[in-house]
Amino acid sequence: MVKFDIISGFLGAGKTTFIKKILNSVNRHEKIVIIENEFGEVSVDREFLEIEGYEIYELSNGCVCCKLKGDFLLTLKQILNQKVDRIIFEPSGIFILSEITDLFKDFEISSKCFINTVITVVDAENFSEQIQSYSYFFKSQIINASTLVVSKTKFLKPKEVDLIKKELRALNNTAMILAKDWAEIYPQEILDLIDNNPARTLYGDTHSSGHDFETLGIRTSRVLEFNQLKKILEKCIEGAYGNIIRGKGIIKSGDTFLEFQYVGEHFTISESKNATVGVVSFIGNNLQKVTLKEAFL
Ligand SMILES: Nc1nc2c(ncn2[C@@H]2O[C@H](COP(=O)(O)OP(=O)(O)OP(=O)(O)O)[C@@H](O)[C@H]2O)c(=O)[nH]1
């Protein structure tokens, strides 16, 4: 039977970063296929998952728990017709975990593949804001996890991390909770996480409350200097382009490319070594799409 590992978590929690850690830990002889579901119109994560030798399937511009359900079923069936040992699935940040149960009711899928584990990445830095404002998605992801991996702990005091752990435990009293600096997680620990923490029965509403988020995704050849990009992202924090919850992208800058990550009013800009194209993606509410587009085109 093919293992199907779900790496869930709210927008920008650190799912892709954690998948990279998994790929660096697993047995290289395993045939692994990755399915990326991005809510935004364009897929940026492929550019970030620069570990070679893995097949990546992308489903963008919607969520596989609703709009892309049919595409997801077809993709899964296509993958299961090949020789594969493990599928790692990164749902969009606003995926309703319990909806996956429906997909596994399909005999062609359930006879070949089983949900091996559900890891939910929880963003420590943005925890309070996200659990309050997006509690529907957030709590469903926490309640249904077999493992809760807390990210960005280094930005908080140990006492604050302990409080988050307590809140997580109150929502899910059986999941293993891992809340330490990711640089200190060993490959063996990751292997134990994925293969020794079986998924539990997923529950919750089987119909989502609606993904009322707006998106803007563009491919661009615009060249920006570091400071120009920084200014745009500062304006995002000020609310000049609406309420941006998540932004990410790659922008040409001189002879190189810059990668930016924007999550809950924090952003980073770094050099991107492998990028070859400019692409940006934003998710939020009341997006000022025209001005935001102008900034990047
Ligand atoms: N310092 C630190 N940064 C982290 C950690 N986890 C994630 N990040 C950063 O958080 C940002 C978002 O991480 P991603 O892995 O892209 O998050 P994601 O959940 O895949 O995002 P979406 O798929 O867009 O929802 C990136 O800048 C990461 O480098 C962590 O544990 N520590």
Predicted local confidence at residue 41, as pLDDT: 80
Measuring from atom 24 of ligand 1, which residue has the nearest CA?
12
In angstroms, rounded to a whole number, what is the distance separating the alpha carbons of residues 134 and 163? 19
| Ligand 1 atom closest to residue 283's alpha carbon, by position in its atom list | 24
Range 169-175 contact pairs with CB under 8 angstroms and sequence separation of 24 or more: 171/139, 171/142, 171/143, 172/142, 172/143, 172/145, 172/148, 174/146, 174/200, 175/120, 175/145, 175/146, 175/147, 175/148
The residues facing 215 across adjacent strands are: 283
Q: Is the CB of 16 under 6 A from ligand 1?
A: yes
3-state secondary structure of 148: strand
Q: Residue 47 has which token pair?
A: 């550019």
The residue ranges of every structural domain in the chain are: 2-195, 214-296
Distance 36 CA to ligand 1 centre (A): 15
The answer to whether 33 touches 55, Cβ cutoff 8 Å, is yes
Q: Is the CB of 152 under 6 A from ligand 1?
A: yes
* Cβ neighbours of 136 (radius 10 Å): 15
Q: What is the DSSP pairing of strand 278-285 with strand 266-272? A: unpaired
Q: pLDDT tens digits, residue range 245-288?
A: 999 999 999 999 999 999 988 999 999 887 888 999 999 999 99
| Ligand 1 atom closest to residue 268's alpha carbon, by position in its atom list | 27
In angstroms, rounded to a whole number, what is the distance separating the alpha carbons of residues 58 and 226? 29
Burial of 30 (C-beta count, 10 Å sphere; 0-12/13-18/19+) = exposed
In angstroms, rounded to a whole number, what is the distance separating the alpha carbons of residues 84 and 80? 7
Query: Who contacts 38 (Cβ-Cβ below 8 Å, separation ≥6)?
Result: 44, 45, 58, 59, 60, 61, 92, 281
ipTM passes above 0.90: yes
**CATH architecture, domain defined by 2-195:** 3-Layer(aba) Sandwich (3.40)
In angstroms, rounded to a whole number, what is the distance separating the alpha carbons of residues 223 and 229? 10
Q: pLDDT tens digits, residue range 180-220?
A: 999 999 999 999 999 988 887 777 665 555 668 899 999 99
**Fold of the domain built from segment(s) 214-296:** Hypothetical Protein Yjia; Chain: A;domain 2 (3.30.1220)
Q: pLDDT tens digits, residue range 104-126?
A: 888 999 999 999 999 999 999 99
Query: Who contacts 197 (Cβ-Cβ below 8 Å, separation ≥6)?
Result: 117, 119, 146, 147, 175, 176
Q: pLDDT tens digits, residue range 120-145?
A: 999 999 999 999 988 888 888 999 99
